[in-house]
Chains A and B, each alone.
Chain A
Amino acid sequence: MLDVLTGFVDELRAAGLPVSLTESIDAAEALGHVEFEDREALKGALAATLVKSAAHWKAFDTAFEVYFSMRGPQYDIDAPGDGDSEGTDAESAAPGQGGGRGAGGGGGETLTAEELAEMLYKALLAANEAQIAALARQAVSRYAGMEPGRPVGGTYYLYRTLRNLDLDALAERLLDSARAATPEGTFTALEERLARDEFGARLDRLRKEIEDEIRRRLVADRGTEALARSLRKPLPEDIDFMHATRDELTALRRAIHPLTRKLAVRLARKRRHGRKGPLDFRATMRRSLSTGGVPVEPKFRYPRPAKPEIMVIADISGSVAAFARFTLHLVYAISSQFSKVRSFVFIDGVDEVTRFFEGTDDVAEAVHRINTEADVIWVDGHSDYGHALGVFWERWGEQITPRTSVLLLGDARNNYHATQSWVVQEIAHRARHVYWLNPEPHAYWGTGDSVVDEYAVYCDDVFECRNLRQLERFVAELA
């Protein structure tokens, strides 16, 4: 057991979770107080001692499912153990591939496709969880077409299984029958929506069962460590902006909300408790009256540092759009920390977009409007930093004051146009600070058509900002 535990902890660390030595000792200690047969209790004990942040839960869950996949009782013992339905009878007959034990294997032949669909429909309608799980196993062995040693990802099998089951049609059918079951034979709009959500939840449950089953079989086929490695995903704060998949972008969007809240709280606090000021003589004397004129507690005057003014100039061409979006989101979410925030976006033309953020407290909505409404294309819609900066200087350069901090966002891939780097030099003269945030890895800077180095000489600093972690650190420094 200890071997499994250390392997598991190693895997968690490899996935990026900070698991300390004391925590793994705690986990070992905790295992002494749970029953190994109770898989949920085991998982709970490990989670309580090893995972200390809700954002890491998903990584833990995946690792746990891989490492402890075959070890629960219902997968070890032959199927009658959890069988309360006709569905499980069929599969207990044949041993599956799951380590030679009856993990729900090749018994699928005994049911026709229609029968399987029908039973699934009934199980979903009755919300019979044990039966749904059993049928999910059947469906996988029937449709996924899994072969040992085949170098395909789990998502491929998942896709194959789900395509055959046709869950959308199933959902409609469930809705129809629920509708027919009401006295009037029809739903009000509210009931319709509630029923839809209910069946959606049940279908999610089925989907999860199918995923679990596929993963169990993959573990049996490829071994624990290999699979854990292939399933490892970056934590939301480590996702690279420039190469995020659609799912990862969703995860990022979800992660940015709590992040902005934390950042705002932290900065507000920093401002209040920043530095100790000089002694406030009057307040100290006033306070000393309660101790008979002895100044026991001195009072200090706290300075109120001036809030900086921010101008964000962001490249929103395809390659770096996601990065610009998240940065704008973050800057606006903490805009109360700045005296003023103005934002400009460009591709080869440049446009001020501050107006989209005014009068709305929904930053996501404003960012969406920028993408659709801002006038940023001048000639061909390929990034032209030189022209965009030139126009910016002409139209808004006057408004940069010594209290302004200017943020330039982009990868500085200029498509071999003129760089016009004198603009940055002029901006640097007028502004308090000029920072450049580049979403590209440092190693790529200055390669190909990247001209970041030409601008960098005039900036106060250039930062690599590839993920939320780096971005958050920068924004916190800024305010």
Chain B
Amino acid sequence: MTDDRGGVPDPLGFPDPGPPRFGSVAEVRGALAQAGYLADESMAGVVHLADRLGKPVLVEGPAGTGKTELAKSVARVTGSRLIRLQCYEGLDESKALYEWNYKKQLLRIQAQRVVGPDDGPDDGGPTWRELEEDIFSEEFLLTRPLLEAIRVDEPVVLLVDEVDRLELETEALLLEVLSEFQVSIPELGTVRAKRIPLVFLTSNNTRELSEALKRRCLYLHLDYPSLDRERQIVLTRVPGISEELADQVARIVRSLRTLELKKYPSVSETLDWARTLVVLGIESIDAEQARDTLHVLLKYRTDLDRAAKELALVGDDPA
């Protein structure tokens, strides 16, 4: 393996991950906590492994559990630039990898006007071959997020958001980038990453991702946090909240998640609720206040009714 091309895969197929970004799992955790992101043991472990193995991380889980935030925080912590590819239906090569700026190419050709025959001498204009080389140079290349992430010199965290929104066929587009960290452009050759970026893919699990994609990734399932972690998250992210209120918030949310609801309150909704309570100047939640602000947490009429009934927020008084 030569040094000048850091990320070249060695014969066994393991890409060289380069110098470690983190010393240990504990260090990952500490750094993330400082950036205001409370990771649990398994999350920090996966981030550490991703760094050491040079593999992308596929983060899956219900909406609003901090999947995207994890990638952002890692970027912040490592001082990397965050390059984000938001996936949607109909995303294609020209939006994800690269595109030739054909309007500019057309202009270039039209501006030249006089183009000589392929090999013969001409009256001052460029030959066809020269022109072809000219219009397929980097000047006319529009880099899109995936190519950008492996082309730049600075450290990069690549976030491929909501990858499950891609069609199955388009998914294949990611494979070369994710396993070899290179992009082949027919006219220019192969562009290799100088340093393997940390890659995060997030998925809301609206469809099963292909085996090929999963195989190339480390897998992290982000579920709703435990009571303790949620309380800590509320305490860190909501300024001016008291320990007691944070505890109450976390406990009520946990109880809500045990009910059969259409949509469970996510962490971000928990935070919104906690902020609402702080703004309203509530120190300790009673049934009435909970009922009046519950719509921040739950977004379906049936869910609201069921929650109010189950948590005894309506009607009957304490025994």
Contacts and interface: CB of A to CB of B under 8 A. Distances in A.
Given A23-B215, A269-B89, A292-B106, A45 B318 contact: no
Contact of B312 (A20, A47, A51, A190): A190
Interface string A183-194: 000111110111
Q: Which interface class (under 10, 10 to 19, 20 to 34, 35 or more) fits B? A: 35 or more
Contacts of A52: 58, 214-215, 217, 219
A118 interface: no
Interface stretch (A226-234, A260-268, A309-317, A414-422): A260-268
Nearest to B312: A189
A189 B167 contact: no
Contacts of B252: 190, 194
A180 interface: no
Contact of B318 (A29, A30, A192, A197): A192
A258 B205 contact: yes
Given A54-B205, A198-B251, A296 B102 contact: yes
A291 interface: yes
Interface string A263-303: 00110010011000000000000000001100010000000
A262 B207 contact: yes
B304 interface: no
A186 B319 contact: yes
Interface stretch (B49-57, B70-78, B229-237): B49-57
A190 B316 contact: no
Interface in B209-231: 211, 214-215, 217-221, 223, 227
A34 B227 contact: no
Nearest to A296: B102
A18 interface: yes
Given A33-B53, A188-B318, A41 B219 contact: no
A33 B53 CA distance: 9
Contacts of B302: 361-362
Contacts of B223: 54
A41 B60 CA distance: 19
A201 interface: yes
A457 interface: no
Interface in A166-223: 186-190, 192-194, 197-198, 201
Contact of B60 (A34, A40, A54, A262): A54
A291 B104 CA distance: 11
Interface in B1-60: 14, 25, 41-42, 45-46, 48-49, 52-53, 55, 57-58, 60
A261 B206 contact: yes
Interface string A43-81: 011011101111001000000000000000000000000
A41 B25 contact: yes
Contacts of A201: 227, 254
Contact of B45 (A45, A193, A292): A45
A362 B261 CA distance: 11
A40 B221 CA distance: 15
Nearest to A257: B262
A44 B214 CA distance: 17
Tell me whether chain A's interface is mostly helix, strand or loop, or mixed.
Answer: helix
Contact of B221 (A49, A54, A192, A197): A54
B255 A197 contact: yes
Contacts of A197: 251, 254-255, 258
A334 to B, nearest CB: 14
Contact of B42 (A44, A187, A192): A44
Q: Which interface class (under 10, 10 to 19, 20 to 34, 35 or more) fits A? A: 35 or more
A45 B60 contact: no
Contacts of B118: none
A192 B208 CA distance: 41
A273 B310 CA distance: 44
Nearest to A198: B251
A189 to B, nearest CB: 3
Nearest to B25: A41
A222 B102 CA distance: 70
Contact of A47 (B53, B106, B219): B219
B46 A193 contact: no
Contact of A189 (B89, B106, B316): B316
A450 B248 CA distance: 58
A22 interface: yes
Contacts of B172: none
A361 B301 CA distance: 12
A26 B17 CA distance: 14
B53 A30 contact: yes
Contacts of B205: 54, 258, 262
B286 interface: yes
B167 A45 contact: no
B177 to A, nearest CB: 17
B103 interface: yes
B290 interface: yes
A186 B285 CA distance: 16
B311 interface: yes
A432 B310 CA distance: 47
Contacts of B46: 44, 48
B313 interface: yes
Contact of B14 (A29, A44, A272): A29
B296 interface: no
A193 B215 contact: no
Contacts of B285: 190
Contacts of A20: 211, 215
Contacts of A198: 251
Contacts of B214: 52-53
Contact of B311 (A22, A45, A51, A190): A190
A192 B312 contact: yes
A256 to B, nearest CB: 13
Contacts of A29: 14, 53
B208 to A, nearest CB: 7
Contacts of A45: 45, 49
A265 B206 contact: yes
A9 to B, nearest CB: 14
Interface string B258-293: 100000000000000000000000000111001000
Contacts of A194: 248, 251-252, 255
B138 interface: no
Interface string A28-41: 01100110000011
Q: Which of A54, A192, A361 has the most CB of B within 10 A?
A: A54
Contact of B167 (A44, A186, A273): A273
B317 interface: yes
B218 A49 contact: yes
Given A44-B41, A45-B45, A189 B255 contact: no
7 contacts: A33-B53, A44-B41, A48-B46, A53-B208, A189-B311, A189-B316, A262-B208
Nearest 5 Cβ contacts at the A-B interface:
A189-B312, A44-B45, A52-B214, A48-B218, A188-B318
Given A52-B219, A269-B89, 17 more contacts: A30-B53, A49-B219, A52-B58, A52-B214, A189-B311, A189-B312, A192-B312, A193-B310, A193-B311, A193-B312, A194-B251, A197-B255, A201-B227, A261-B206, A262-B207, A262-B208, A273-B167
